[in-house]
Amino acid sequence: MSSKRAVVTGGAGFLGSHLCDALLAEDWNVVVLDNLLTGRRANLAHLQHEPRFEFVEKDICEPFDVGKVDYVFHFASPASPVDYSIHGIPTLKVGSLGTFNALDVAHKYNAKYLVSSTSECYGDPLEHPQKETYWGNVNSIGPRSVYDEAKRFTEAVTMAYRRYHKVETRIVRIFNTYGPRMQLNDGRVVPNFMKQALRGEPLTVYGDGNQTRSFCYVSDEIDGFLRLSKSDEFMPVNIGNPKEFTILECAQTVLKVTGSKSEIIYEPLPPDDPKQRCPDITKARQLLGWEPRIDLETGLRKSLDYFQTALTQEASIK
């Protein structure tokens, strides 16, 4: 049995739980810390009899020590605009206090460390597509600032532990990602549209629908994380799909994949909603040999079962 041991903060979340699966598949022992603020036990239910897996319900804003680990994957944070607007102060705390605590564990055990950062570091970007060298256009006092500035601070603390304590750090800037285990009600565009289409309700496009996002299927995203974790790159790396869609195109693709006859309606654009977002992934291609493989339509088809089942379960609970 392998002796490699990793701790995943936020491992009960959408991306954290898929990361746990990937680490277990690569022979790691995995311990998850999660306070279940936005994560869910259901995301880890399939691992309950896995001897190399352990779950601890814990808020990492308090110092923690789970014994010796070789890798710290710091993924704890609310991450959807709806979640971080409801949980603004916990978002700021986990990005700051939680990050110090995660880095202290890496420092103590001489473990490597990889943190999930975000394309939100670029704000409403004036450079397009966004390269890692772009410093961003972030509103430090707007409603999204609780997340954007928390993650920018997370990056600053991470670089400081590298400079002052020689911790071996990695920073991944994650762009819009979708797939099974997304929360139905986190307000993000893919779960919203899938839920609305499958229920035959109108799809709610915010603004005129010409704002863009680029959507990465979860298995591609996780592959990027693992490659980065094994590389020597300590400066931030964008991991996201460079194929850009307008939100209206995304709605039309959801209608096609679900075969739904729902209409599209228009609602007000939330404040500070970025007009465009698309990663420049030259660095990931060159350094990691990484390239996303799954296009939006294929990824939505792969996610269909999950959303159908989740909706049925939700209906049976009500």
List active site positions.
Answer: 147
Q: Which two tokens mark 125?
A: 């970007």
The DSSP code for 127 is: S
Binding segment for ligand UDP (CB under 6 A), chosen from 15-23, 39-47, 135-143, 202-210, is 202-210
Query: Which of the residues 229 through 248 are near ligand UDP (CB under 6 A)?
Result: 247
Give yes or no for residue 206 binding ligand UDP (CB under 6 A).
yes
Binding segment for ligand UDP (CB under 6 A), chosen from 199-207, 216-224, 285-293, 296-304, is 199-207
Give yes or no for residue 81 binding ligand UDP (CB under 6 A).
yes
The nearest distance, CB 294 to ligand UDP, in angstroms, is 18
Give yes or no for residue 85 binding ligand UDP (CB under 6 A).
no
Euclidean distance between CA atoms 66 and 107, whole angstroms: 13
- Alpha-helix residue ranges (DSSP H) falling in the chain: 14-25, 81-86, 88-93, 99-109, 145-165, 189-199, 218-230, 247-258, 282-288, 296-317
Residue with tokens 């598949």: 25
Give the end-to-end CA distance of the chain in Å, rounded to a whole number.
Answer: 44
The nearest distance, CB 174 to ligand UDP, in angstroms, is 10
Give yes or no for residue 192 binding ligand UDP (CB under 6 A).
yes
Q: With respect to ligand UDP, which residue has the nearer C-beta, 189 or 300? A: 189
Burial pattern 82-108, b for ≥16 Cβ within 10 A else e, equals: bbbbebbebbbbbbbbbbebbbbbbbe
Secondary structure class of 55 (helix, strand, coil): strand
Q: Cβ distance 94 to 116 under 8 Å?
A: no
Going residue by residue from 157 to 176, which x/- string records binding to ligand UDP, judged by CB under 6 A? -------------------x
Give yes or no for residue 270 binding ligand UDP (CB under 6 A).
yes
The nearest distance, CB 91 to ligand UDP, in angstroms, is 13
Q: With respect to ligand UDP, which residue has the nearer C-beta, 71 or 193? A: 193
Q: With respect to ligand UDP, which residue has the nearer C-beta, 116 or 229? A: 116
Q: With respect to ligand UDP, which residue has the nearer C-beta, 64 or 266? A: 266
Give Cα separations from 196 to 47, 70, 123, 138, 254 (angstroms).
Answer: 30, 43, 28, 31, 10
Binder among 182, 189, 288, 310 for ligand UDP (CB under 6 A): 189
Give yes or no for residue 211 binding ligand UDP (CB under 6 A).
yes
Q: Could you tell me which residues come within 8 angstroms of residue 191 by beta carbon, excluding any fewer than 6 positions away?
A: 178, 182, 183, 184, 185, 307
Residue ranges in contact with ligand UDP by CB under 6 A: 80-81, 176, 187-189, 192, 204-206, 211, 213, 247, 269-270, 273
